[in-house]
Amino acid sequence: MSIHEWFLRKKTEKQQKNGASERLNIPENLWLKCPSCKSTIYIKELNENLKVCPKCDFHFRLSASERINLIIDSGTFKEMSITLKSTDFLGFVDSKAYNKRIDEAILKSGLNEAIVIGEGLIENIKTVFGVMDFSFMGGSMGSGVGEKFTRMIEHSIENKIPAIIATSSGGARMQEGILSLMQMAKVSAALGRLRENGLPYIVLLTDPTTGGTTASFAMLGDIQIAEPKALIGFAGPRVIEQTIRQKLPKGFQRSEFLLEHGMIDLICERKDIKSTLAKILRFFEE
Amino acid sequence: MKEINNETKNLLYFEKDLKDLYQKITELQKLSEKEDLNLEEEIRMVKKRIDTMRQEIFNKLEPQQIVQVARHIMRPSTLDYINFIFEDFIELHGDRNFGDDKAIVCGIAKLNGQSIVIIGHQKGHTTKELINRNFGMAHPEGYRKALRIMRMAVRANKPIISFIDTPGAYPGIGAEERGQSEAIAKNLREMSIFTVPFISIITGEGGSGGALGISMGNRVLMMEYSIYAVISPEGCASILFRDSSRANEAAKVSKITAKDLLGFGIIDEIIKEPIGGAHNDYEATAKNIKTAILKNLNELSKFSPRELVADRYNKYRKMGIFTE
């Protein structure tokens, strides 16, 4: 069996097992250590608690499909541009060929790109919703993510419905060179149009959101919501530490820090996100 | 700026073969003084030889060598160019919220009698100057100052020229506290709807979001030996190759030179530099920049405000390569 065939078989197996994409696919009879409070949690309990640690409130990362299930009314999500994929136009090879990285990310996440976009209802209110998946190359933004985000905003303008994005991204996808940087310009220009059309744009920042993603669409919401303790920043903490050669203050670049400094509107517990979004949408609807 | 030519200390590592020739000039000059000989012809010949050799070297620069030219300590940045290109320049300071960021300079001026707004990164040619300008790495207040002045240009219906030369936006505690990402993001969104002609020129280092934050022009021009990248070759090598000494490779594969980016349709034009790069002749370089600005402004002046916005939107809208 060639490696390619092996991957294909693995992919089919995985899809059969999980339906769409499932990140924390650990059998339900297992225990897990919370990375924040180090206490041992029963995974079933964690899942029932929307992947929030019952002991310390640590918010585990969600996959795109988990996020959709959390926020969009059941059965109403109509995905758009499903087949859109990144391509290795530079022939970029670091420790691995970018081509191969894309294939692996597709297998690992069950998605074609680091963002899923579509139309759906939130408590019966029509929205266009985008969600990033960190398991796909760290949610990085290349041409694929930039294009899909732009289409989502254009869909919002054409159909006069509000746009919501849940972010989770390390920033620009370096394997696409300058074109990844240009996506920042492209998505921001789309948001310029959205704004001129008077449509609301809401951002839900989840852990982590940094780099070119924050320096473009993730910080341009009319309303900025963040999950508790999410890492949100321009430069990564390691880069800053290396630059200034001193330890960073506790809680630096976390949601609470951003709220304190006036960079976001509110922090919202995972269980309250859907109802909060619905309230905001109803405000704009009237 | 001819005296810089004679300073061998400013030679880049791949120009070291020129060192002997420069020494020869010094020797000839000394000899001519001492013996009262006329050696002008000999000196001229050596200088000519230097130019030829330098041209040969520069004709086949590797991407990582171009990076070194783009970062040369004597490479001109915004304030060095302004007096050669514009008249009646007045610098305008401050973001009206927090402070005045010296890494970005802004101002108003005339270009052949036409009112123009100028935005640009400023580095320096000595350690002291570089520290004062934070090596051209702006904080949020720099981007907010630039936005304030650019919006003024839009209200006054005057074209905007931005000069880009930065390693990147500054990664520090204060920058994060004051919203570095928000400042850049907002600039991107606002620049996309400017109703005036907007030309951006990458003069040295076009360092990622820090560069893009003031460079969403209708036309983006690049100096022959400048670079424009999503991450520095060193950063790319250290993150992706886990070895910062592999910057050469990273520079090659990331396609960051003017020639590469013209091929990708990311930039519109390359501005020629004098032999050995912009730092060897500020005036000649500025003249080439001025010619390019005038040509592009002339073309953009035929656009209506609405067409300028549409032109800019379409320019960035079509950037991206993917399959479906």
User: What is the CATH class of B67-317?
Assistant: alpha beta
A170 touches chain B (CB under 8 A): no
pLDDT of residue A23: 54
Q: Are A123 and A138 in contact (CB under 8 A)?
A: no
Q: Which among B181, B256, B312 has CB closest to A234?
A: B181
Residues of A in contact with B170 (CB under 8 A): 243
Residue B237, pLDDT above cutoff 60: yes
- Higher-scoring residue by pLDDT: B308, B27: B308
pLDDT of residue A19: 45
pLDDT of residue B126: 95
What is the per-residue pLDDT across B104-117, written as a single tens digit (0 to 9) for each?
999 999 999 999 99
- Torsion-angle region of B270 (φ positive above 0: left; ψ -120 to 50: alpha; else: beta): beta
CA distance B323 to chain A (A): 5
Token pair in block for residue B90: 């007045």
Cβ–Cβ of B230/A243 closer than 8 Å? no
Residue B6, pLDDT above cutoff 60: no
Other residues' Cβ atoms within 10 Å of the Cβ of residue B1 = 16
The label of the residue with tokens 């490779």 reads B249
Among chain A residues, the shortest Cα distance to B184 is held by A215
Token pair in block for residue A143: 């041409």
Q: Which among B185, B209, B241 has CB closest to A95?
A: B241
Distance from first CA to last CA of chain B, Å, rounded?
Answer: 54
A216 touches chain B (CB under 8 A): yes
Other residues' Cβ atoms within 10 Å of the Cβ of residue A10 = 12
Amino acid at A245: R
Residue B269, pLDDT above cutoff 90: yes
Mean pLDDT of B206-213: 97
Which of 220-259 (A) contact B at CB < 8 A? Answer: 220, 233-235, 239-240, 243-244, 248-249, 252-253
Among chain B residues, the shortest Cα distance to A231 is held by B176
Residue B122, pLDDT above cutoff 50: yes
Q: Is A268 annotated as a binding residue?
A: no
Other residues' Cβ atoms within 10 Å of the Cβ of residue A281 = 21
Residue B61, pLDDT above cutoff 50: yes
Domain boundaries, chain B: 12-60, 67-317
Domain boundaries, chain A: 24-60, 61-285
Residues of A in contact with B172 (CB under 8 A): 235, 240, 243-244
- Higher-scoring residue by pLDDT: A238, B229: B229
pLDDT of residue A10: 60
Which residue in B262, B267, B316 has the most chain A C-beta atoms within 10 A of its own C-beta, making it the best mutation to test that interface?
B316
Helix-strand-coil percent breakdown of chain A, rounded to 5?
45, 20, 35
d(CA A284, CA A200): 7
d(CA B168, CA B237): 16
Residue B217, pLDDT above cutoff 60: yes
pLDDT of residue A6: 59
pLDDT of residue B9: 77
pLDDT of residue B92: 98
Report the predicted TM-score, pTM, of the whole model to 2 decimal places: 0.92
- Higher-scoring residue by pLDDT: A29, B249: B249
Residues of A in contact with B179 (CB under 8 A): 219, 261-263
pLDDT of residue A22: 47
pLDDT of residue B3: 44
Low-confidence spans in chain A with pLDDT less than 70: 1-29, 286
Do the bridges between strand A201-209 and strand A163-169 make them parallel or antiparallel, or are there none, so unpaired? parallel
Domain A61-285 annotated CATH 3.90.226.10? yes
Number of inter-chain CB pairs under 8 A, A vs B: 183
Residues of A in contact with B97 (CB under 8 A): none
What is the per-residue pLDDT across B177-195, written as a single tens digit (0 to 9) for each?
999 999 999 999 999 999 9
Amino acid at A223: I
